[in-house]
């Protein structure tokens, strides 16, 4: 992948965060990774820059250790979370972090989002997990890096597939979502907010948090993402 193309994709993903109302003010960020060469490069939003003012040239390019390769602005303060996730989840090619209202509410409540219906099951093969809170020493020794570490621990301990579960709630913080590229990552962030809102209202109306039967959830996920998927066009 050419870096200029990736810059455009990451710019579009960041603009979509704002357009879809997934993050107020300058909250949130999107990134993408180019793994095609011998050395991967990450393109990410600069810290604190208004979405409306962003240009491709404003985006910052780093290596997987977070060293700046190109760009005159400081990268997102969440850079080390992104780079750690790219290192640990090699299947993903784009990451979006938002502070969308309903998904953030579930994160602040430290509650996973149960799979209450087929809309959820179409995109997430199970509940949206929530991490453990960061320990005091993790905050002191490297808050941003350890935010990524606590996400990875959540997936490893739960034996979760980051492709089948393309997002997570960081306890007391907000959601992260990812995909094969920046465009899919922002789509998953948008879907995550939608199912968080549906789940909030469903629970208020008395829906049992056990969710829909597993066989229904599996059917809906696999018809869209399984080896014999029937959803959409070939």
Looking up tokens 């640990």 gives 88
> CATH number of 3-225: 3.40.50.1970, 2.60.40.10, 3.40.225.10, 3.30.43.10?
3.40.225.10
Measured from the Cβ of residue 45, the count of other Cβ atoms closer than 10 Å reads: 29
The pLDDT value given to residue 94:
98
Whether this prediction's pTM lies above 0.85 is answered by: yes
Helical (H) or strand (E) element with 138: helix 136-157
The pLDDT value given to residue 232:
65
Digit-coded pLDDT (tens) for 70-124 = 888 999 999 999 999 999 999 999 999 999 999 999 999 999 999 999 999 999 9
Q: What percent of the chain has pLDDT over 90?
A: 77
CA nearest neighbour of 30 among 179, 193, 195, 196: 179
Catalytic residues: 122, 231
Sheet holding 41-44, edge to edge: 68-70, 60-63, 41-44, 29-34, 94-97, 175-179, 167-169
Digit-coded pLDDT (tens) for 76-89 = 999 999 999 999 99
Structural domain spans, the chain: 3-225
């Amino acid at each position: 992948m050419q870096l200029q193309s990736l810059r455009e994709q990451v710019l579009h993903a960041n603009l979509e965060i704002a357009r879809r109302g997934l993050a107020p003010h300058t909250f949130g960020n999107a990134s993408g990774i180019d793994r095609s060469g011998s050395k991967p490069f990450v393109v990410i939003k600069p810290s604190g820059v208004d979405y409306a003012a962003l240009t491709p040239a404003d985006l910052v390019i780093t290596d997987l250790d977070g060293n700046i390769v190109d760009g005159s602005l400081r990268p997102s303060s969440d850079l080390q979370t992104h780079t750690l996730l790219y290192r640990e989840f090699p299947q993903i090619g784009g990451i979006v972090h938002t502070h969308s209202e309903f998904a953030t509410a579930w994160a602040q409540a430290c509650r996973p989002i149960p799979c209450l219906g087929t809309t959820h099951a179409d995109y997430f093969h199970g509940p949206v997990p929530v991490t453990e809170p960061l320990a005091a020493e993790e905050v002191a020794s490297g808050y941003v890096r350890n935010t990524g570490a606590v996400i990875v621990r959540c997936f490893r301990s739960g034996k979760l597939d980051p492709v089948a579960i393309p997002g997570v709630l960081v306890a007391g913080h907000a959601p992260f979502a990812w995909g094969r590229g920046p465009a899919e990552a922002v789509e998953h962030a948008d879907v995550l907010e939608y199912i968080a809102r549906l789940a909030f209202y469903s629970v208020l109306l008395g829906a049992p948090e056990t969710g829909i039967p597993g066989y229904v959830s599996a059917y809906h996920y696999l018809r869209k993402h399984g080896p014999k998927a029937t959803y959409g066009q070939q």
